[in-house]
Structure 1
Amino acid sequence: MIQESHFERIGSLAERRRMDPSWQPRLFVYGDSISIQYGPHLKRMLEGKIRYDRITDNPGEVALADLNRPIGANGGDTNRAVGYMRRRHRDDPIPADILMINCGLHDLKTDLETGQKQVPLCHYVKNLRQILELAEAMNLVVIWVRITPVMDEVHDAVQPVLSQRFAHDVDAYNKEADQVMLSAKVPVLDLYGFSSHFVPAGYKDHVHYKDEVCALQAAYLAGAIEMLLR
């Protein structure tokens, strides 16, 4: 039997909405610190139309205390995402209709001493495919959000540490993710392209954004999700 594409399954959700205007699809967000920042705005913008939920903080692990640390609500890299999805599939399937995934900035970090990526590109691709398989096993429709921009000169100046990010790696990881999602017929929201209009002025540090930009990112995502569900 041929499986429906994620676009077709979103179409089925949209049809259910049309048949029952009181019904609200359930959206679950798995993402890194970028998604933590736009999350409250996105939740507010979707209120009354789409029920919003996301990966949350664990006891004693508050992600907002340090947006650079992948703890609690900060989903970190795709290794962590695969582990999270496996645990949810085994113990507590995610109660949602749509899974929106926004991670990759941690994967492409480079150790300046060894030149090694935190998650090498080939393993990143493997992780993405595993995430899609686990989402399918939980009957979740997937929406993918592209990695947001890095500007080398800004990142180098603000975050001079042994681990670094580079703009060319963002392009490479986004390109590979695009191919995985195209092959799986998963909708892709270009938060990279949208956010590019606001850098560097919209940065509040090396990769994170001022709150007014986070609100605009949320508006872009809310509008794109709504368009998919029409």
Structure 2
Amino acid sequence: MIPYRTLSLSLMCSTVLGTISCVSTAEARQQQQETREDARETRTTARERWDALVTQSFRNRPKTQAHPSLDYWDYSNGLPNVLIYGDSISIDYTATVRAELDGKANVIRLPANGSDSGMIISKMKAMHTSMSDPALSDPWAMTWDVIHFNAGLHDLKYISAGKMDKQKGTQVNSIGTYTSNLREAIGYFREIAPDAALIFATTTPVPEGEPGRFVEDAARYNEAAIDVMMSADVAINDLYSFTLPHLDAWIVAPGNVHFTPAASELQGIEVARIIGHHLDSDGD
């Protein structure tokens, strides 16, 4: 006769609605493991969270929301991570940057319009908090190797009653506020990614006839930004000088700061070239 104690060592029992149910310890552990795996599978994924962030940012602009630059990326753990932060100009060239750096880097851009310089830190924190949420099935656990950033077009515009108006409006940020915001952003980037290469892209030119911006302000704000970057030892990608000779041919319409798809592709190739140079230098 088998001793009672031998039976009791290998069983786990529970009572449900007055019925005693027993399973082996091994079976119980297997069931617990399967329950945990099922719970993970039903969690929100990073891709789903990303798509929700994009939808929230562009809920009233479906055409922008569907832009390929805002898509989640095919992430590879073996590649360096590149962040692109910027306004709609960068949204238009990010897809090309990804294509140019395919197999060389994970290229991620902010899932929103970066807006003016005063928004950099808050938008970055919002993205990181959401994407590193431990409740996700696959939260971010990455570090940035390169941060390519820009702000300027939204700083120098004039707004009146919610619309651009350079005659009656108030400028979003003075040069003094702009440069102060940039210094704070640099400090923040170096806090969250101390080993990352920082690259600042100068603001692209403003064409004649633009309703909310003065042509000369783009050059003025860029000059001030370059001084900040040089003093902080931040690399500069001079997209202003790259774009200026072709401005009339590249803009989508007279007085519009946006560029044709062909022009955005050329800008993206240039951005990828600059980023690639820093990736190669880091690997030497």
- Fold shared, TM-score > 0.5 on shorter chain: yes
Aligned twin of 2:170: 116
Aligned twin of 1:54: 109
Letter of the 1:99 counterpart: I
Mapping for residues 147-186 of structure 1, pairs under 5 Å: 147-153=203-209, 155=210, 160=211, 164-186=212-234
Secondary structure class of the residue paired with 1:208: coil
Mapping for residues 202-217 of structure 1, pairs under 5 Å: 202-205=250-253, 206-217=256-267
Quote the offset at 1:229 in angstroms: 2.7
Aligned twin of 1:145: 201
| 2:137 matches 1:83 | no
Aligned twin of 1:6: none
Cα deviation digits, residues 142-200 of structure 1 (max 9, x gap)? 110000011223x2xxxx4xxx1112110111011101100010100011111112211
Quote the offset at 1:82 in angstroms: 2.6
Aligned twin of 2:31: none
In the alignment, the residues of structure 1 paired with residue 248 and residue 178 of structure 2 have an alpha-carbon distance, to the nearest angstrom, of 27
Cα deviation digits, residues 70-129 of structure 1 (max 9, x gap)? xxx211111121322344577758742211102210100024355531111111111101
Secondary structure class of the residue paired with 1:200: helix
TM-score, length-scaled by structure 1 = 0.74
In the alignment, the residues of structure 1 paired with residue 86 and residue 125 of structure 2 have an alpha-carbon distance, to the nearest angstrom, of 16
Quote the offset at 1:44 in angstroms: 0.8
Question: Please, which of 117, 139, 146 is the counterpart of residue 98 of structure 1?
Answer: 146
Please list every run of 5 or more consecutive structure 1 residues that lacks an aligned counterpart in the other structure. Answer: 1-21, 57-72
In the alignment, the residues of structure 2 paired with residue 172 and residue 137 of structure 1 have an alpha-carbon distance, to the nearest angstrom, of 28
Secondary structure class of the residue paired with 2:248: coil
CA contact (8 A) 1:150 1:170 kept: yes
In the alignment, the residues of structure 2 paired with residue 201 and residue 40 of structure 1 have an alpha-carbon distance, to the nearest angstrom, of 21
Quote the offset at 1:32 in angstroms: 0.2
In the alignment, the residues of structure 2 paired with residue 88 and residue 110 of structure 1 have an alpha-carbon distance, to the nearest angstrom, of 27
In the alignment, the residues of structure 2 paired with residue 117 and residue 98 of structure 1 have an alpha-carbon distance, to the nearest angstrom, of 31
Quote the offset at 1:228 in angstroms: 2.5
Letter of the 1:186 counterpart: V
In the alignment, the residues of structure 2 paired with residue 80 and residue 110 of structure 1 have an alpha-carbon distance, to the nearest angstrom, of 17
Aligned twin of 1:189: 237
CA contact (8 A) 1:89 1:138 kept: no
In the alignment, the residues of structure 2 paired with residue 145 and residue 32 of structure 1 have an alpha-carbon distance, to the nearest angstrom, of 11
| 2:242 matches 1:199 | no
Secondary structure class of the residue paired with 2:171: coil
* Identity, % of aligned positions: 32
TM-score, length-scaled by structure 2 = 0.61
Letter of the 1:191 counterpart: L
In the alignment, the residues of structure 2 paired with residue 41 and residue 77 of structure 1 have an alpha-carbon distance, to the nearest angstrom, of 23
| 2:88 matches 1:33 | yes
